[in-house]
């Protein structure tokens, strides 16, 4: 008797249309984060150097940190110089954050290690962000 129920179930499901969900890649996820952060200004960057050849800075995209490359052709670009000087001056404070005004490019790059990074066309370095200490309770 249980075989009859199983056969009925299989026949009933055989005609159902199968809808395949689209495959979402990590690049798709990063692209969605970039689109969501497109209007955010200034952007929050942090200095977080790596041992590989990935960019040394990360950008806050929503609740996530993403490696970021600064789109500058000139190594004497004032935004780049100010950001690097601030980061080097705070070498004992890896992870310190900075405010940088700019636009995120649509291009998503890949480091040699396979890590995805985004590109920021920086316009203005606005300085280091100071973490607020939590207020102590009563």
Dihedral (CA of 46, 58, 72, 29) sign = negative
Domain-wise residue ranges, the chain? 21-129
- Specify the fold of 21-129: OB fold (Dihydrolipoamide Acetyltransferase, E2P) (2.40.50)
Polymer length of the chain: 138
**Per-residue DSSP letter, 105:** E
pTM equals 0.74
- Residue-wise pLDDT for 8-67, tens only, equals 555 555 556 778 888 889 999 999 999 999 888 899 999 888 888 899 899 999 999 999
Instruction: Give the residue from 128, 99, 117, 81 showing the smallest Cα distance to 40.
Output: 99
Going by C-beta distance under 8 Å and a sequence separation of 6 or more, which residues neighbour residue 82?
Answer: 125
């Amino acid at each position: 008797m249980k075989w009859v129920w199983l056969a009925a179930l299989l026949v009933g499901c055989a005609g159902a249309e199968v809808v395949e969900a689209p495959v979402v890649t990590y690049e798709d996820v990063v692209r969605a984060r970039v689109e969501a952060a497109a209007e955010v200004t200034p952007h929050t960057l942090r200095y977080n150097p790596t041992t590989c050849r990935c960019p040394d800075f990360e950008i806050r995209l929503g609740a996530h940190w993403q490696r970021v490359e600064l789109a500058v052709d000139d190594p004497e670009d004032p935004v780049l110089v100010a950001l690097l000087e601030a980061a080097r001056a705070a070498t004992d404070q890896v992870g310190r954050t900075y405010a940088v005004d700019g636009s995120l490019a649509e291009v998503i790059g890949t480091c040699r290690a396979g890590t995805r990074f985004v590109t920021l066309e920086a316009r203005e370095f606005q300085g280091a962000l100071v973490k607020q200490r939590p207020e102590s309770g009563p």
